[in-house]
Amino acid sequence: MDFQLSEEQRLMIETASRVGTEFGLDYWREQDAKKSFPTEAWIAFCEAGLGGVALPEEYGGSGLGMLDMALVIEALSAAGGGSTLAQLFMINPIFGGVALAKFGTSAQKDAMLPALIQGRMNFCMALTEPNAGSNSLEIRTFAHADGQGWRLKGQKIWITAVPDAHKMLVVARTTRLEESSRRTAGISLFLIDVDRAGLDHQAIDKVGTHTLASSTVYFDDVRVEPDELIGTLDQGWHQLLDVLNTERIVTTAGLVGAGTLAIRLGVDYAKDRKVFGDKPVASYQGVQFPLAQAHAELQCARLMNLKAATLCDQGQPYGSEANIAKLIAAQAAGQAIERSMQAMGGMGYAKEYHVERLWRDARLFRFAPVSEEMVLNFIAMHDLGMPKSY
């Protein structure tokens, strides 16, 4: 078990930290206030080779792995972006990149992967539905055969970055649930244009992650062409899981970076702040201990996430590790941000000190992209051998 990073990985982290610092705390505060997609930052990340770190070399990527992507996201998040950086990597290198690299045809890869890696094409994924929630096997959006293609009808909710995406990975049933031999059968993946007749979307007014819109999406007889199928017709469920499990790794990396950033901001403030005499409030154990506890938990989540990423790169099962890391990281990052706010007192509630944005953004990941309760269900069943409870 080797915990040493390679020279290439160290240089990659240095690059991510440098580029991330160019788009630091003030940049993200401004983008958050404007509710604006961070186009300039994403293009800069891609120009530095970070967006395609885990995507194939023949399309302009670095051909590395999920471990390298996790290290990049940690560094970018800690440089100022916070946990919302994870969503940037979800929509493009994961929803677009993993889906195409693993399951796309040669023509699909040629048409889209270079543009993704260069930052010229953005993606989103339409999975969650109002009446299904975490139970993705209950989705009802349906694509019925129409000549050589399909017609898509249904509704999705909480879909990230739709207004700024060019392509949407749609998860739909192509065989109705009641007609399927297995609940996991009859699901297909399609990669379609967002700008298409019959596809409408409406933004959801929300608490945080303002740089990436969340939308309700409506499909009203949307035409899907034959060459827009990703993977195998009716066999998309297990292909989807390959996308979703890597999403866990990305989420955790962003949370580790956000928690690290919050602790740094809290510690720096507490070391300068003096209230009772000449001793900084950072010398008080009541301030030190909660931040130290959060740091310890973040480091544990980080190691578990890097283990998950390594197993993923080795082609071994990593679902348990990815889920455990995400569970602990979401809790630890939330605690780190809360205690940093507390260390700052009233200024922790002020936008100019940035932690309030980290707080708003990180809270999402206690229930997204998978809720704590569903992670605990997974651990109970798959790791402890307990009966299914739902």
How far apart, in whole angstroms, are the C-alpha atoms of residue 252 and residue 70?
8
Stretch 130-137: mean pLDDT: 94
Closest CA to 250 of 212, 306, 296: 306
**CATH number for the domain that contains residue 359:** 1.20.140.10
Q: pLDDT tens digits for 56-83?
A: 999 999 999 999 999 999 999 999 999 9
Q: Quote the pLDDT of residue 132.
A: 95
User: By three-state DSSP, how is residue 237 classified?
Assistant: helix
Reply yes or no on whether the pLDDT at 2 is more than 90: no
Together in a domain, 40 and 172: no
- pLDDT at residue 158, rounded to an integer: 98
Q: Please, are residues 89 and 116 in contact by the beta-carbon 8 Å criterion?
A: no
Domain of 63 in residue numbering reads as: 7-122
Name residues whose C-beta falls within 8 Å of residue 233's C-beta, 6 or more positions apart in sequence: 174, 188
Q: Is residue 389 situated within a structural domain? A: no
Verify that 378 and 246 share a domain, yes or no: yes
Counting residues of the chain whose pLDDT is more than 70, the rounded percentage is 100
The enclosing H or E element of 116 equals: helix 106-117
Give the pLDDT confidence of 8-33 residue by residue, as tens digits. Answer: 999 999 999 999 999 999 999 999 99
The band of 247, judged by pLDDT with boundaries at 50, 70 and 90, is very high
pTM, full prediction: 0.97
Picking from 279, 263, 238, the residue whose alpha carbon sits closest to that of residue 342 is 263
Average confidence score pLDDT of the chain: 97
Beta-carbon-side half-sphere exposure of residue 303 (alpha carbons within 13 Å): 9
Q: How many CA atoms lie within 13 A of 109 on its CB side?
A: 17
Note whether 156 and 217 are within 8 A (CB): yes
Query: How many domains does the chain fold into?
Result: 3
d(CA 224, CA 20): 38
Residue 189 CA to residue 163 CA, distance in Å, equals 20
Residue 152 has pLDDT above 90, yes or no: yes
Residues 110 and 144 in one domain: no
Going by pLDDT thresholds of 50, 70 and 90, the confidence category of residue 4 is very high
Task: Please check whether residues 221 and 180 belong to one and the same domain.
Answer: yes
| Whether residue 370 sits in one domain with residue 250 | yes
List strand residue ranges (DSSP E) for 274-352, in order. none
Looking at residues 330-338, what average pLDDT do you find? 98
Q: What is the pLDDT of residues 156-186, one digit of tens each?
A: 999 999 999 999 999 999 999 888 888 899 9
Are 158 and 205 a contacting pair, CB within 8 Å?
Answer: no
Burial class (CB in 10 A: 0-12, 13-18, 19+), 345: middle
DSSP 6: P
Does a structural domain hold residue 110?
yes
- Among the three residues 69, 103, 122, which one is the final residue of a domain in this structure? 122
Mean pLDDT across the stretch 95-102?
Answer: 98
Among residues 182, 202, 234, the one where a domain terminates is: 234
Q: Is the pLDDT of residue 117 over 90?
A: yes
C-beta of residue 190 within 8 angstroms of C-beta of residue 154: no
Mean pLDDT value across residues 296-308: 98
Domain end position, chosen among 234, 251, 276:
234
